[in-house]
Amino acid sequence: MKRPIPENRIVVTGLGAVTPFGPTCDALWQGLLSGQRALSELTKFDPTGLRNTKAGQIHDWQFAAADFSLERTPDEAVQFLLVAAAEAISDAGLSKQLQSGAPAHPQAGTVLATNFGGGASWEEYMSGLLDKRPSPDHFADFSFHTAISDLCHAFALGGPCSQLSMACASGTAAIGLAAEMIRDGQVEMILVGGYDELAPSPLSGLSLLRTITDDDLRPFSANRSGTLFGEGAGVLLLESLEHARKRGARCYCEVFGAWQNNNAYHLTAPDAGGAGMARVLAGALHKAGVPADQLQHINAHGTGTEYHDVAETEAIKSVLGAAAYDATVVSIKGALSHLMGAAGAVEGLVAALSIYHQKVPPTTNYSEPDPACDLDYVTEGCRDQNIQYAASISAGIGGDNSCVILGRLD
């Protein structure tokens, strides 16, 4: 059965990533395919009081504000975003059109996603308030809108812009919103990205919610006990297919549809049987016009928490039926950690690479089968796979869910 083809099709033409594997998309992809892990001891601040001292920290980070024509050095989370964006723009072959000093491009927009924005700058600002010496730079850098301002200035993005926060579902939701803006004819291309950094306050709060394991991160494994968090940014450049073909761009994949919702159930626990996640996957497939039994690959949220991994497995089975056992279901968090607001963008990016290369990375650090999680989690290492359609699913604290359906360009 062929899906109906919309008039205004959207494709992914550029990818950029800054992750604990390194400051490039290739470092991320090669690290995932090889089954490496990028978690380490947390050293950027004192982890005393946290449930775990391991995290997906970016080490040996270097940034020059002058490279982006900025007068000040932004918060580190925004630094990650800017470097990933520069890679995505270069990868798409648009560095000459989208650069600081060029005329503002009215047909180039941006949609950003984050959980905490400039968390470290917020803490510096609050510390300054207590000492009666607050810094205006710190005030600017923890404000979410500053990331859009810096990005648009650095790359002459003069079109519509937006930033959203749906907890850890943010990055995936941003991809969906960006695609709809192009489909509606608002812009020809959009830089869409998610970003977050490790900072004491967010990690302390997540420790209090007991989402962090005191052991290790093992998605879908019977001995899982919670997640571990990290930092970074993922950026995708989306374009209308017409615009991409006019300039002869390479296309990684097509964006077919997306959906967002809320469990309306609990702050941290998934609802019974993963009903909210099932609705978001079914909604995205319906929006995309893709029959459930034609979905070959899922980049899962897969946090390694006891109840969520079961709920996600149940959600996939309830939507795909028997076809769930034919699909590959991968979580990259065992290799990378949970990148918070960046997670959905990075996972969407990895799904795009899986479609383009027809290869899926493994679910790293899976060690013990769980009868309640009984799908094909690709535990033996990376695998070649014929993928026509793939889903990337995200979920967040507060019950937010998002899903995007990507596919091979015909």
- Alpha helical stretches, state H, 92-159: 119-130, 136-142, 144-155
List, in order, residues 6 or more apart from 232 with CB less than 8 Å away. Answer: 17, 18, 19, 20, 56, 58, 80, 84, 195, 196, 339, 342, 346
Residue 139 binned pLDDT confidence (cut-offs 50, 70, 90): low
pLDDT tens-place string over residues 305-333 = 999 999 999 999 999 999 999 999 999 99
Token output for 32: 């995932």
Residue at token pair 């941003």: 174
Among residues 105, 254, 243, 251, the alpha carbon closest in space to that of 175 is found at 254
Virtual torsion, Cα 236, 242, 243, 245, nearest 10 deg: 90
Residue 140 binned pLDDT confidence (cut-offs 50, 70, 90): low
pLDDT tens-place string over residues 283-293 = 999 999 999 99
Query: Does pLDDT of 137 surpass 90?
Result: no
DSSP state of 398: T
Domain 10-246 indexed as CATH 3.40.47.10 = yes
Token output for 302: 């897969």
Q: What is the pTM of this model?
A: 0.94
Q: What amino acid positions are annotated as catalytic residues?
A: 168, 301, 338
- Rounded Cα distance, 252 and 405, in Å: 13
Mean pLDDT of 196-200: 91
Mean pLDDT of 15-35: 99
Q: Cβ(222)–Cβ(368) under 8 Å?
A: yes
10-246 and 255-407: identical CATH topology: yes
Report the CATH fold assignment for 255-407: Peroxisomal Thiolase; Chain A, domain 1 (3.40.47)
Domain ranges of the chain: 10-246, 255-407
Residue at token pair 């469990």: 263
